[in-house]
């Protein structure tokens, strides 16, 4: 997808004006946090589990080369083929060449954020290979020509009637008078359409939630079971995963799985959790003849050595989106690229590069809710602040208003001058308020007074009044 993160302000305005989106977000950002809280309340050791998850990930990041090589050795021994790719272009070419070698015309896909990151669908399509999304939400947005608005719940910006309308327009072979009012009817229809695609596909493409170094397995979790059909029905399975997905052992994978579903959807565990190791062996009843694993860097090793390293602990649970009051206002599309919410506000500038997504780390109140719920305890506000610090010197929204900030700081660093200047300014402002208690508008304050009144100051500064009190009774 073409990134529009540089147009964040326009995107956000557009989103805020969308009444239907407001409804969807209001219900979603209420129910998901509630479900998470409920399931965590049942698990007293959840915080200890988080600490263990953080320890595992930090250990992996400190020994990434070791575990990746071990993963490669184990996966290769199990019969998988490993492809190392530096960037999105290399990964796309690799996937395409595997499809071509298999003579593929149709590729089924299970939901993959890495697939979105490398924009694999557009690329395959322009090269004569037809990708078919098989996760219900992804399928819906694929037929609508949209991008995911949430890393977990890609079609969360839509409501039932939107989807029914889309299906009527796209599934023209089905009876036009059919009922599509109930979610079940929508699901049944998608299933019917997708069943044929599953069977016709030549290649199945998935991501991976984890790579297990101990066994050379990939781990894929879904709630729909679609990934299992994608992985096992076609002759060829390709899994694309970024480097930081590796974990040392099956035990470690189990720890992270316990954190993932609880944080993501408020489930104890996802409905389907699949470990895939190598292609079909002689005597296996099913499985692909070929199993390819594309290991993608795409900016991760560059983050490893810097102040954004903690971000590589992210397990893409989406908890930070579900709890973010900014995301709740504008939804995922406003962020303009694959990743949205707080994790996107850190990851997108790191992955797209300087000045492609400068607004994202600024569009946060630093309320801290994201860090509070992150299972991997990623200090998201701290990293957004680092990005603002960079902008303050190199330019960007953080540097806008630098002049005003510098003037304010000039006074704030000179307490005596500050006391005199503020006493005068506040007195003048209170005089303008004229006892009305607030301003509906005031020159130079439109950003404040657009949405809200400006309460008037009481008239004297505390410092001045305190000095008077001290003089009266020393």
Which residues of this chain interact with another protein, rule CB under 8 A? 9, 12-13, 16, 325-326, 328-330, 362-369, 371-372, 385, 387-393, 397-402, 405-406, 408-409, 411-413, 415-416, 418-419, 422, 426, 435-438, 440, 447-448, 450-463, 465-467
Q: How far is the CB of 429 from another protein (least distance, A)?
A: 9
Residue 198 CA neighbour count, 13 Å, CB half: 19
Nearer to another protein, 406 or 472 (CB): 406
Q: In the bound complex, what is the minimum distance in angstroms from residue 368's beta carbon to another protein?
A: 4
User: Minimum distance between the CB of residue 85 and another protein, rounded to whole angstroms?
Assistant: 34
Name the residue nearer to another protein (CB basis): 1 or 464.
464
Give least dist CB 165 to another protein, A: 27
Dist. CA 131–CA 36, nearest whole Å: 33
User: Please, which residue, 29 or 112, has the CB nearer to another protein?
Assistant: 29
Tell the smallest beta-carbon distance from residue 308 to another protein (Å).
15
Q: Among all chains, which residue has been given the structure tokens 């002049």? A: 403
The span from the CA of 324 to the CA of 289, in Å, is 44
Looking at the Cβ atoms of 145 and 451, the one nearer to another protein is 451
Of 179 and 416, nearer to another protein (C-beta) is 416
Two tokens at 103? 């003579």
Residue placing its CB nearer to another protein in the complex, 225 or 437: 437
Dig out the tokens for 269 from the structure.
Answer: 């565990």
Decide: 406 and 413 in contact? Cβ < 8 Å.
no
Q: How far apart are alpha carbons 381 and 368 in whole angstroms?
A: 7
CB of 123 to another protein, least distance (A): 33
Alpha-carbon distance 163 to 386, whole Å?
40
Nearer to another protein, 235 or 419 (CB): 419
Nearer to another protein, 348 or 391 (CB): 391
- Alpha carbon distance 158, 45 (integer Å): 36
Count of Cβ atoms closer than 10 Å to residue 389 Cβ: 13
Query: Is-contact 36 342, C-beta < 8 A?
Result: no
CA pair distance 4, 268, nearest whole angstrom: 36
The residues, any chain, with a CB within 8 Å of residue 191's CB and separated by 6 or more, are: none
Q: In this structure, are strands 236-242 and 203-206 parallel, antiparallel, or unpaired? A: parallel
Question: Cβ of residue 240: shortest distance to another protein, in angstroms?
Answer: 34
- Structure token pair of residue 434: 């004229």
Least spacing, CB of residue 150 vs another protein, in Å: 18
Tokens of 42: 């049942």
Distance, CA of 424 to CA of 230 (rounded, Å): 71
């Amino acid at each position: 997808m073409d990134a529009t993160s540089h147009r964040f302000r326009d995107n956000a305005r557009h989103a805020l004006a969308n009444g239907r989106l407001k409804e969807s977000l209001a219900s979603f950002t209420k129910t998901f946090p509630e479900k998470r809280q409920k399931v965590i309340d049942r698990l007293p050791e959840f915080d200890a589990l988080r600490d263990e998850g953080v320890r595992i990930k930090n250990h992996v990041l400190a020994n990434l080369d070791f575990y990746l090589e071990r993963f490669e050795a184990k996966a290769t021994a199990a019969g998988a083929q490993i492809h190392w790719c530096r960037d999105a272009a290399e990964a796309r070419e690799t996937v395409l060449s595997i499809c071509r070698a298999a003579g593929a015309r149709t590729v089924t896909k299970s939901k993959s954020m890495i697939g979105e990151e490398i924009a694999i669908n557009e690329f395959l399509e322009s090269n004569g290979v037809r990708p078919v999304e098989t996760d219900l939400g992804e399928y819906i947005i694929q037929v609508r020509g949209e991008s995911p608005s949430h890393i977990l719940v890609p079609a969360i910006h839509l409501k039932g009637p939107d989807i029914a309308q889309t299906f009527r327009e796209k599934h023209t072979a089905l009876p036009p008078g059919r009922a599509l009012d109930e979610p079940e009817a929508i699901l049944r229809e998608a299933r019917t359409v997708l069943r044929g695609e599953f069977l016709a596909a030549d290649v199945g493409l998935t991501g991976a939630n984890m790579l297990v170094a101990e066994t050379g397995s990939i781990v894929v979790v879904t709630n729909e079971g679609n990934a299992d059909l994608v992985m096992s029905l076609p002759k060829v399975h390709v899994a694309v995963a970024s480097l930081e997905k590796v974990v040392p052992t099956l035990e470690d994978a189990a720890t992270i799985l316990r954190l993932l579903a609880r944080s993501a959807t408020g489930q104890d565990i996802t409905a389907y959790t699949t470990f895939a190791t190598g292609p079909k062996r002689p005597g296996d009843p099913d499985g692909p003849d070929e199993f390819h694993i594309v290991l993608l860097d795409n900016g991760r090793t560059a983050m490893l050595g810097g102040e954004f390293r903690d971000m590589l602990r992210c397990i893409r649970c989406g908890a930070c989106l579900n709890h973010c009051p900014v995301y709740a206002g504008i939804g995922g599309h406003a962020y303009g690229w694959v990743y949205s919410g707080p994790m996107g506000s850190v990851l997108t500038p790191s992955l797209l590069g300087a000045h492609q997504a400068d607004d994202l780390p600024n569009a946060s109140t630093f309320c801290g809710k994201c860090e509070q719920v992150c299972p991997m305890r990623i200090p998201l506000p701290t990293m957004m602040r680092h990005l603002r610090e960079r902008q303050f010197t190199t330019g960007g929204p953080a540097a806008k208003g630098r002049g005003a900030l510098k003037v304010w700081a000039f006074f704030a660093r000179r307490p005596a001058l500050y006391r005199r200047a503020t006493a005068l300014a506040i007195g003048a402002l209170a005089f303008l308020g004229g006892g009305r208690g607030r301003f509906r508008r005031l020159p130079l304050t439109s950003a404040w007074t657009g949405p809200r009144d400006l309460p008037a100051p009481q008239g004297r500064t505390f410092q001045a009044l305190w000095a008077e009190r001290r003089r009266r009774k020393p």
